[in-house]
Structure 1
């Protein structure tokens, strides 16, 4: 098949592309590189007028006229590439707002894609209309909405989430669902709001290219190394404030037994190597299931503090922990870390189970085959 993957979050589409290519398909990625993470993209689109003085001018023009310069410039970049976006058997959008445009220009791009390709599918990953509204209506369910409701995040820093509660993005949602062949969830957090929706095609776990993560069991010698990777833009959304406080306590409690590594806003290629020497990786809170960063760390046999709730364990019928379910509770995090530091054999055991879990549930070749099965069974 000839396949066009649009957009990139946390290397999901790159891993899927690699699996699909191994199965003999022709695959292209077009879109943003996911900010500072700088993932590979065949046809890259850049965010224009998105910082400094130009951003201030853009915001001023938007307030006065309603015209979004960044959206217009993104659309013009797509126009440059659009002759590469024709006649695909399958097009897959990574999100309801793949191009980060306002309603007008996002719809213009989508119109072209729908008119010039056979089938278009949508991924439920990242924030979208159904996800955001579901979790605002269910605030006790762990999600990125919780730190916002706790007033840790200002509206201006939560605009990429809040926009999905506005009328234009509701319109965009309905337009998309009228034209796509179906929507696929990439983990349990996105699966929950989609249950029983007529366009829902099911949950396909994020693919992990195990060829890039050779099996390598951990060894613990003198100290236990803890890695904390920070994306400053999503500091509170990921629960980094809780991790920071927990690490401060752990440093005081186990100073001679641990080493702490902290990395902030580093490109993907550097990031995945930074935690090679770590035994424990602190990833994120506020959810049920893991994102790609946690999955890749688990593939390396690390003990990851991430989303791994009872719902996740039940879904995969797990009887033993493959990750530590991280909660927004400093005392809980300190207790979990302390237990592992005091029982290093448990670190080794969980790390082994984490690797086995990724091999069983997230192998990129198996997941790529599942995608092709879903795509081909749906009629245009």
Structure 2
């Protein structure tokens, strides 16, 4: 079976590819590699207007002419690659705007994908129309939009989220849902908004390749090492300011007991090595479930402060503070949890082992790949060229 995975966030599609290949599938990834993280892809698209002077040039030209250089150049790249983007048994799109072009161009590119492939599925991973609407309707008690509502982040920095409130992106969403075989969610933050949707096929746990992530049994013999990885572009969205405030509180009373490692915007290969010697990893605040960074750190035996809300505890039937630590948007609460671990270092070893066991049970990349295959196959069409609506 030939499978095309379009788009890449946080190594999700790479890990899924590895699981599918272990099951004998032929898999191709097309995408940007998630920019500075530089994940491997088989068919690479480049976005040369994402930052710096090219970004400013793009903004000026768009303002003067309504021409989006990003869309123009990605469409050109698509034309060069299109012979390698057809004839697959299954295609999965990583979100509703996988080529990162404006809706008019995106629809043209997706139209080709739908016409030249048998079965196209959508993964709700990253912001999309449904998850954004759910959050803005305040159905979550907090979300990645909370910093925007608190006016910590300028509107321009939230463009990739706020765009889903525009009519053109709503139309793109409608077009997508008319033509896909079904939509899947990568974790609870996307699963919850999709509950009850007719196209929804269920949650697929993020696949973690445990063969690439050795468990590191770090005993607490001296200082407890706390790792804080900052994505500068998403500093407030990930709650990095709250983590830093919590660390400042902690340092007042326990500076002699801790060592803090802070890194900023590292490529994936460097990032995954940088926290090897850490006992505790600070991941993100505004989430109900764990993303890829948290899960890979848990696989390596880290005590991770991340999304671990009651909904997550209920879904997996586990107890609070036994596998991951829920990082609420409250610096004092996070500091108290950190202090608890410092004063009870035996808990670090206990949670570390539990975290690895949880990933092995719920997120093993081959098991998750099987779940994807079973779900896709339940919707396979006999028609090679589905009708475009």
Q: Partners in 2 of 1:157 and 1:145 — Cα distance?
A: 11
| Cα shift at 1:325 | 0.1
| Cα shift at 1:139 | 5.7
What is aligned with 2:164? 164
Determine if the alignment matches structure 1 residue 289 to structure 2 residue 289.
yes
Equivalence map 1:210-359=2 (5 Å): 210-319=210-319, 321-359=322-360
Q: Partners in 1 of 2:137 and 2:144 — Cα distance?
A: 13
| Cα shift at 1:220 | 1.3
Q: Is the 8 A contact 2:216 2:276 kept in 1?
A: no
Q: Partners in 1 of 2:289 and 2:114 — Cα distance?
A: 31
Q: Partners in 1 of 2:379 and 2:140 — Cα distance?
A: 35
What is aligned with 1:145? 145
Q: Partners in 2 of 1:80 and 1:119 — Cα distance?
A: 23
Q: TM-score, normalised by structure 2?
A: 0.96
* Aligned alpha-carbon RMSD (Å): 1.0
Q: Is the 8 A contact 1:48 1:74 kept in 2?
A: no
Q: Which moved more, 1:86-95 or 1:141-150?
A: 141-150
The DSSP-based 3-state class of the residue aligned with 2:70 is helix
| Cα shift at 1:204 | 0.6
| Cα shift at 1:123 | 0.3
Instruction: Give CA-to-partner distance per residue, 1:52-76, whole Å, 9 cap, x none.
Output: 3332221122122221111110111
Determine if the alignment matches structure 1 residue 26 to structure 2 residue 26.
yes
Q: Is the 8 A contact 1:139 1:145 kept in 2?
A: no
Equivalence map 1:187-226=2 (5 Å): 187-226=187-226
Q: Partners in 1 of 2:216 and 2:108 — Cα distance?
A: 47
Aligned residues: 380
- Counterparts in 2 of 1:5 and 1:126: CA distance versus 1, 3 Å: same
Q: Partners in 1 of 2:179 and 2:68 — Cα distance?
A: 25
Unaligned runs of 5+ in 2: 382-389
| Cα shift at 1:140 | 4.8
Equivalence map 1:94-133=2 (5 Å): 94-133=94-133
Determine if the alignment matches structure 1 residue 365 to structure 2 residue 366.
yes
Q: Is the 8 A contact 2:177 2:199 kept in 1?
A: yes
- Counterparts in 2 of 1:140 and 1:17: CA distance versus 1, 3 Å: closer
Q: Partners in 1 of 2:178 and 2:141 — Cα distance?
A: 29
Q: TM-score, normalised by structure 1?
A: 0.98
Q: Partners in 1 of 2:300 and 2:188 — Cα distance?
A: 22
Unaligned runs of 5+ in 1: none
Q: Is the 8 A contact 2:249 2:332 kept in 1?
A: no
Q: Which moved more, 1:62-71 or 1:212-221?
A: 212-221
The DSSP-based 3-state class of the residue aligned with 1:183 is strand
Q: Partners in 1 of 2:85 and 2:91 — Cα distance?
A: 9
Q: Partners in 2 of 1:49 and 1:277 — Cα distance?
A: 36
| Cα shift at 1:51 | 2.7
